[in-house]
Chain A
């Protein structure tokens, strides 16, 4: 295989067809909670790959005899859309799709606390909207986020990326051309926090050294993806927190405003008196905005003095506490 296409895949400067370095992944973006009906969902874009993951469950399993008495069954359905590839894919599930579904389900089983939901099923749907090599790994990355988004307790997140071999050189994250014309690939699913490999496949021809190097690259890639995963999950909850905090401010705003603005009010008052004395006629235009906040502070000031010192310390730590639990 080394003879055809390989020279084109990596140029003299060590750049690949899409301009990447050997150990460079394609750009990844992850959105969490994109589907309203699903219990958990995520969209991942990795290069030209676009995959949607949706989690439904834990819910009742049919047929019932498949239910496990002591834990939940994780069922995974990896499907490629008909228009996701160059030549139209037949809509019927292929053997490849079934195999990928089962290995992703196995990987997820290793991180989810399935014991918490006996006799139920957790269904993970993975729809590949556009495929460009490495969809099983990207699907696993998205699936583990969707599972977390669904509120399933997990030991950790799994990140997936494939390493590969082009012209006897180990590279990270094969795209479609590299996957087809390169001489092998090693899809890896790895959880950096647990230091566990939950998915490992290989096809192609590798020497022991090449395999070791490729695996190392993949694991490093997974560690980088894991950071993006965490950020993506955080982003959703930060957004929610911001929305909630606005609502809270509207409801109990008076008490919060007091502390922060208390000092400002003093300053403003001081300034106002200064300005009115010094430049009373010239700065008429600036006065209205200064006047507006005035009445609120005055009222709040009087009430605050005894309450503030007690309220503030209680509110702040509770906020921080919330953040931490959300992120975990």
Chain B
């Protein structure tokens, strides 16, 4: 099945003509994000969860914790596994089946932003060093695809992690028992992903699904609150001139600050 939407020439030309005047079909500025809404604790049975809406893009994120054995090379730290599902619910161009390349890229880029920003302290997920640690499964399902999944996924993931709670574990010798009592998962850093898309020579952010079809280059950066870049990913087939990179990074960093404020506003206050 064709998994790509083919945009009509007339629609494409209209979009490009508007962009020439720094305008967009929905009336936004070129670097303006759509409105962000986050509903946390959406799923009671998950240890943490969030339903994030960025315009018409909707993603549900859930955190599950499972006790397991640590990797031999990091006996004192917990494990995080990120999974993305491009559920066929979300778009007529998604099919059910094993994760597609796109889903894998989306999951891995999201994972990297969380992991590399040291967003959570993995040492605190350790229960018995070398033997028992919490494995944190961060799974998200796209419910409605209207572009910019990369940024929305990170926003939703951070929201789900920020509201997640870990059960306490009672350890006596080699025995352990999971208790009812739960403590909040501490968030050390709040990484924000900002993806810049390029159409011809114009840059824009937070494209809708149709805008995304016209773009030729995608460049994602994630930043922590101390202005560090914690991850980057160039996507799509388009190429990038060396002198294009730094202006994009600086612009993205500025945008990330505003987005973080939006995120913090949407999170329940502790």
Residues of chain A touching chain B, judged by Cβ–Cβ distance below 8 Å, are 35-38, 41, 48, 50, 52, 54, 56, 59-60, 62, 77, 79, 81-88, 91, 123, 125, 127, 129-132
Say which residue of B64, B88, B92, B146 sits within 8 Å of A82 (CB atoms).
B64
Say which residue of A54, A83, A85, A132 sits within 8 Å of B139 (CB atoms).
A83
Chain B residues with Cβ below 8 Å from A50 are 42-43
Contact A123 B88 (CB under 8 A): yes
Chain B residues with Cβ below 8 Å from A123 are 88
Question: Contacts A62-B1, A91-B83, A130-B45; is A81 near B92 (CB within 8 Å)?
Answer: no
CA distance A54 to B58 in the complex (A): 14
A56 nearest CB neighbor, chain B only: B92
8 A-B pairs besides A37-B91, A79-B96, A130-B45 with CB distance below 8 A are A48-B44, A62-B1, A88-B66, A91-B83, A91-B85, A125-B96, A127-B89, A130-B44
B87 nearest CB neighbor, chain A only: A127
Chain B residues with Cβ below 8 Å from A60 are 1
Residues of chain B touching chain A, judged by Cβ–Cβ distance below 8 Å, are 1, 42-46, 49, 56, 58, 60, 62-64, 66, 83, 85, 87-92, 96, 137, 139, 141, 143-146
Say which residue of B49, B90, B91, B96 sits within 8 Å of A83 (CB atoms).
B49
**25 examples of A-B residue contacts, CB within 8 angstroms:** A35-B58, A35-B89, A37-B145, A48-B44, A54-B88, A54-B89, A60-B1, A79-B96, A81-B60, A81-B139, A82-B64, A82-B137, A82-B139, A83-B43, A83-B46, A83-B62, A88-B64, A91-B83, A91-B139, A125-B88, A127-B87, A127-B141, A127-B143, A129-B42, A129-B43
CA distance A62 to B97 in the complex (A): 14
CA distance A86 to B63 in the complex (A): 11
A88 nearest CB neighbor, chain B only: B64
Contact B88 A84 (CB under 8 A): no
Q: Is the interface of A mostly helix, strand, loop or mixed?
A: loop
A-B pairs under 8 A by CB, number: 86
Chain B residues with Cβ below 8 Å from A131 are 45
Nearest first, the 5 closest Cβ-Cβ pairs linking A and B are: A83-B62, A83-B46, A88-B64, A54-B89, A82-B139
Contact B89 A125 (CB under 8 A): yes
Chain A residues with Cβ below 8 Å from B146 are 36-37
Question: Contacts A37-B145, A62-B1; is A84 near B90 (CB within 8 Å)?
Answer: no
Chain A residues with Cβ below 8 Å from B1 are 60, 62
Contact B83 A83 (CB under 8 A): no
Chain B residues with Cβ below 8 Å from A37 are 90-92, 144-146
CA distance A52 to B43 in the complex (A): 13
B41 to chain A, nearest CB (A): 11
CA distance A203 to B261 in the complex (A): 52
A48 nearest CB neighbor, chain B only: B44
Chain B residues with Cβ below 8 Å from A87 are 64, 66
CA distance A50 to B60 in the complex (A): 12
Chain A residues with Cβ below 8 Å from B42 are 50, 129
Say which residue of A59, A88, A125 sits within 8 Å of B87 (CB atoms).
A125
A119 to chain B, nearest CB (A): 15
CA distance A91 to B104 in the complex (A): 14
B138 to chain A, nearest CB (A): 9
B226 to chain A, nearest CB (A): 31
A87 nearest CB neighbor, chain B only: B66
Chain A residues with Cβ below 8 Å from B91 are 37
B142 to chain A, nearest CB (A): 10
CA distance A79 to B91 in the complex (A): 16
Contact A83 B63 (CB under 8 A): yes
A82 nearest CB neighbor, chain B only: B139
CA distance A125 to B141 in the complex (A): 13
A131 nearest CB neighbor, chain B only: B45
Chain A residues with Cβ below 8 Å from B49 are 83
